[in-house]
Amino acid sequence: MASASHRRSLRARRVVVVSAAAVVAVGGAGVVVLNANAGTTVDLYHRTLAAKDGWASSGTGTTGGAKADAAHTFTVSTRAQLVKALGSVSDTTPRIIKVKGTIDANTDAAGKKLTCADYASGTGYALTAYLKAYDPATYGRSKLPSGTQEKARAAAQDRQAENVVLKVPANTSIVGVPGTKAGITGGMLQIQNVDNVIVRNLTFAATEDCFPQWDPTDGDAGNWNSEYDSVTLRGATHVWADHNTFTDAAHFDSANPTYYGREYQIHDGALDITKGSDLVTVERNQFTDHDKTMLIGSSDTDSTGKLRVTIHHNVWKGIVQRAPLARLGQIHLYNNVYDTTTLHGYAPQYSINSRAKAQVVAQNNYWKVPAGGKIAKLLSGDGTGSVAGSGNLVNGTATDLVAAYNAAASKKIKTSVNWTPTLTAGLETSAKNLLTELASTTGAGVLS
């Protein structure tokens, strides 16, 4: 729907949809909308990020593939078509990719469905053999797996990656075609060391690693660690992620088996922003049914002077943690909704984690907390991060989240930051209506 501000304030804007007779059919030039205030006509696929709309509007702004010519405008419905449309990651020619329907990344060039067994075939990997080789009772817990089965696991994982990792070049817009249930299942959009990318109106589901690695040194009891975020930013700049839905469906974590006493985790992040990524705006998305949802900064030494991210008007529901986990950067969170009700077995640990000297400003967000939920557990930190801001509501009541957390924690969250947000288009001064407003204006399938 709507204008370059993509429904930031439905009450303040009017949008006139041109009649069907006046537009090219879905998959062609696209649905055209008229911004009644500005008097300009821009179709969904050429939409660019509005001025002052978060960190991604800084400097040169984010325009994606808006300047694409006809030869670089694609409509895709299969993995093979999508790969061809993406082309070489080194080709910076502006391109628009319209995703029509749901694309299964676990398919071959002919569209045949690929399974975990297909990826493992010929590598020598077998889960039963892997479990026997690295059983802590015999292998121990002091070192990572090595040897025949670990090499075979890595080889099988590499084969899956060849299919499911979709590399996005600079100056690209990837937009779901309205009314087609547009999205990608089982895949990862990799936006790495490129500038100026737009991702909109897509459902990302079932991003699963067939071959998690056992790490006995991860934590006190070890962990199974997987690859593949639904969308991953690594060293990327000027990225706008808008009106997308991220979910583990149809395979929820509650269906994962347990090996060595630990969950066999096949999911990684939903939308991770790491390796010195910078100038990112994440807005009007829905994050649901997921554990480790958004990581900003891959380590405590990821990058200094980067990792500047704006996150606004998103809905987080059925999220265990990392909404986000922020390190080092300047993060602005405003007008988001956090529903901490347990959903499909996803029980919340915390919403926002500020660590490694992260500078978070949280303004006018809304938390829905069920009876018995503890406000002190909405935040987390390592004693070096900051969370400033005001206007945050818990079940409709103004609440000092940091004070609640610090009263119960030994490692206190700081309350002052070294920067002041200025790129705040659409900032609503009250969070009281967000729970209702964002229920119908966020996620994939809303834009038209």
**Residues 271 and 234 sit within 8 Å (Cβ to Cβ):** no
d(CA 414, CA 13): 38
pTM: 0.91
Amino acid 10: pLDDT? 35
Which residues on neighbouring strands pair with residue 41, listed in sequence order? 34
Amino acid 41: pLDDT? 75
Tokens of 198: 């737009």
Amino acid 42: pLDDT? 82
d(CA 353, CA 369): 17
Span 267-282, average pLDDT: 98
Nearest to 236 by CA among 270, 268, 189, 174: 189
Nearest to 190 by CA among 148, 157, 239: 239
Amino acid 11: pLDDT? 34
pLDDT grade, residue 40 (50/70/90)?
A: low
Q: Does residue 1 surpass a pLDDT of 90?
A: no
Long-range CB contacts for residues 306-309, cutoff 8 Å, separation at least 24: 306/276, 306/277, 306/278, 307/273, 307/276, 307/277, 307/278, 307/331, 308/55, 308/58, 308/278, 308/279, 308/280, 309/54, 309/55, 309/273, 309/277, 309/280, 309/281, 309/282
Q: What is the sign of the dihedral through the CA atoms of 124, 127, 132 and 137? A: positive
Burial 50-64 (b: 16+ CB within 10 A, else e): beebbbbbbeebbbb
Q: Does residue 332 surpass a pLDDT of 80?
A: yes
- Reported in sequence order, the residue ranges of 379-420 that DSSP labels E, i.e. its strands, are 379-381, 386-388, 393-394, 397-398
C-alpha distances (whole Å) from 141 to each of 100, 160, 171, 204, 260 are 47, 28, 46, 35, 11
Tokens of 139: 């292998």
**Residues 54 and 422 sit within 8 Å (Cβ to Cβ):** no
d(CA 69, CA 64): 13
Of residues 433 and 32, more confidence is placed in 433
Provide the annotated active-site residues.
Answer: 322
Instruction: Indicate the average pLDDT of the chain.
Output: 92
**What is the helix (H) or strand (E) element at residue 133, kind and residue range?**
helix 127-133
Amino acid 2: pLDDT? 35
Amino acid 58: pLDDT? 98
47-57 pLDDT per residue, tens: 999 999 999 99
